[in-house]
A and B are shown apart, each in its own frame.
Chain A
Amino acid sequence: MNLAQIDRRWIFVIVFLAVALPLLFPIGLVGEVSPRTQTMHDLIEALPRGATVIISFDCEAASWPEIGPVAEALVEHTMQRGIRIIGTSFLSEGTALGFELLSRHADAADYVQGRDWVYLGFRPQYVAAILGLGESITQEYPRDYINQPSEDHTLLGAVRSYRDVALVISIADDTMPQYWIEYAGARYGVKIAAGLSAVMVTTFTPYLDSGQLQALIGGLKGAAEYERLLGREGAGSRGMDAQSSAHLAIIVLVIIGNVAYFRGRGRS
């Protein structure tokens, strides 16, 4: 059997099994809580009850299986702490996902819409929107996601702009937190944190080191660690089993591929 010329459908079968089996038969791999995840947890833990955070769902539906558990954990913790939430989104797909998630958690936490949380929804041209929120939230969003006048919400009567916001959390699978840092953080001085897909962590680590980003958690691993800090198992913890076995499968495949390559080269 020539391993170098193996039918790629066998590789697909191996990857499928590596992902599917741990989801069907969980092992419970989470790992240690990293200092980064702990910092994010401590940041939210340190916010006073009744403070307001903006959570922006700046992600696409395609990456939701990875970024969704991050968002779930952060929203759950924020609501556990009695912190009020203003939801936004600058990507159209993240808008519906964010609304669904916030609504579900608000029901569970007995959060009253308009008083404890508001979902403002989508705005085109995110640079202008991020800057606009620093001038006046109700002027930037005269109506919320479900078309209610923003002025009618008691929360937005008290929270007029970034001056009244303790933290902005951007849930992102791309570079959107950079715009929050450059326009909301640099110009208005509001604190920024990010929940990212794993691939974006390296991009934002320089901002974390410079203090422009207060905290970040990344990918399923970050979500799993955060769930551990919250004392529950969720989609992040379950996903870590599948991610671990998929990584292992790819490592084994790469090693086999190299063995086959060197054997073939030796013969020739």
Chain B
Amino acid sequence: MVGVFGFAMLIQYFVPHPLGRVLYGRVLEWMQVIFAAGLVLGGATYAMSHLRTVSGRREGWIYSLLALAALTLMLAAGLIGGIDRGTLFLWLFNNLQAPLQQTVFSLLAFFVASAAYRGFRARNIDAALLLIVALVVMLGRIPIGEMTGPFLPDLARWLVDVPAVAAKRGILIGIGLGSVAVALRVMLGIERAWLGGRR
């Protein structure tokens, strides 16, 4: 089935026949229906998991209760009041969910600073090189670094745009070729591990 659909989608890309367009449209719709069903399934599994924790009074059940309350509140707010401007849903999102997530994410700065202080040491040549590059890029990418003259910003830009991008480009090409190889193996039935079966 995967082979049939895979090759059908591959062929329709190069053959602009009306039948191919119909098939293409249908497959796009199915993909979204399947994905949306997955979202519903994920939500239900999430709720069931927390319900079990609450009903069994397992460790941390109070947090599960909070998670269920938040889920119910956001669902009810969205389904009953809508998601337009001035609704409870958007207010809750803008004033609770977004700031909470931003707060948690911002903690990263503190841990990065602490980890850099304790772990970013020039223990050998490689580490020293990494350290110098990091300092140059950090300083060269901020206005204070630009105030020192053109050398530091230019060096920082070169480090980011040339060696770093060269490595990234190699990785991307590798990923691309690997994806084609894996896709062909899956479509030809050589690779079956993704089904949970034997190779």
Contacts and interface: CB of A to CB of B under 8 A. Distances in A.
Interface in B95-143: 97-98, 101-102, 104-106, 109-110, 112-114, 116-118, 120-123, 131, 134-135, 138-139, 141-143
A145 B25 CA distance: 22
A112 B97 CA distance: 29
Contacts of A6: 117
A258 B31 contact: no
A62 B117 contact: no
Given A29-B143, A30-B143, A96 B94 contact: yes
B117 A256 contact: yes
B189 interface: no
Given A100-B90, A254-B116, A258-B121, A128 B98 contact: no
Given A11-B114, A11-B117, A14-B113, A125 B83 contact: no
Interface string B152-169: 010001001100110011
B35 A61 contact: no
Contact of B160 (A139, A201, A243): A201
Interface size class of B (residues with CB under 8 A): 35 or more
Given A61-B98, A63-B105, A202-B165, A135 B28 contact: yes
Contact of A128 (B32, B117, B121, B122): B32
B82 interface: yes
Interface of A: 6, 8, 11-12, 14-16, 19, 29-32, 34, 60-65, 93, 96-97, 99-100, 103, 123-125, 127-129, 131-132, 135, 139, 145-147, 187, 201-203, 205-206, 209, 221, 240, 243-244, 246-251, 253-258, 261
Given A29-B144, A261-B121, 4 more contacts: A11-B117, A61-B102, A205-B160, A206-B168
6 contacts: A123-B32, A205-B168, A244-B143, A246-B113, A257-B121, A258-B122
